[in-house]
């Protein structure tokens, strides 16, 4: 993330930070989109930073409305998708497998 110290209270997010977020999220956003999103995200982040006003340290966080423990099922074999079904929506397939673009030679 940014080189500067995080200061959520200011609520500000720069155009460069939005560009970085877009890269992290694998969104090839355009320059006009960056201009627009930077302003909008700034407004939204400033508004949602209000959570800091009441979220005191001693309050336990809630991740889920219904407290959950591990849910088990019997370890029994049951039918899954066939190979044909699994590939039915694939953008490209070959020899019964998903065909994907090259993964070597990435920058990141």
Q: Which residues bind another protein (CB under 8 A)?
A: 1, 6, 8, 13, 17-18, 21-30, 33, 36-37, 40-41, 43-45, 47-56, 59-66, 68, 71, 73, 81, 85-86, 88-92, 98, 100-103, 105-108
In angstroms, what is the minimal distance from the CB of 86 to another protein?
Answer: 7
For residue 66, give both structure tokens: 């219904």
Which residue carries 């909008």 as its tokens?
A: 40
How many CB atoms are closer than 10 A to CB 53? 7
In angstroms, what is the minimal distance from the CB of 1 to another protein?
Answer: 5
In angstroms, what is the minimal distance from the CB of 96 to another protein?
Answer: 14
- Residue 76, CB-side half-sphere exposure with 13 Å CA sphere: 4
Interhelix angle 31-48/15-24, nearest 10 degrees: 100
């Amino acid at each position: 993330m940014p080189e500067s110290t995080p200061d959520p209270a200011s609520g500000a997010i720069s155009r460069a930070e939005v560009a970085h977020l877009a890269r992290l999220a694998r969104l090839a956003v355009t320059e006009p989109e960056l201009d627009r999103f930077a302003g909008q995200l700034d407004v939204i982040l400033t508004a949602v930073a209000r959570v800091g006003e009441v979220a005191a340290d001693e309050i336990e966080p809630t991740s889920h409305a219904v407290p959950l423990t591990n849910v088990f099922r019997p370890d029994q074999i049951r039918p899954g998708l066939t190979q044909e079904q699994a590939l039915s929506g694939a953008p490209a397939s070959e020899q019964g497998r998903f065909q994907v673009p090259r993964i070597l030679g990435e920058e990141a």
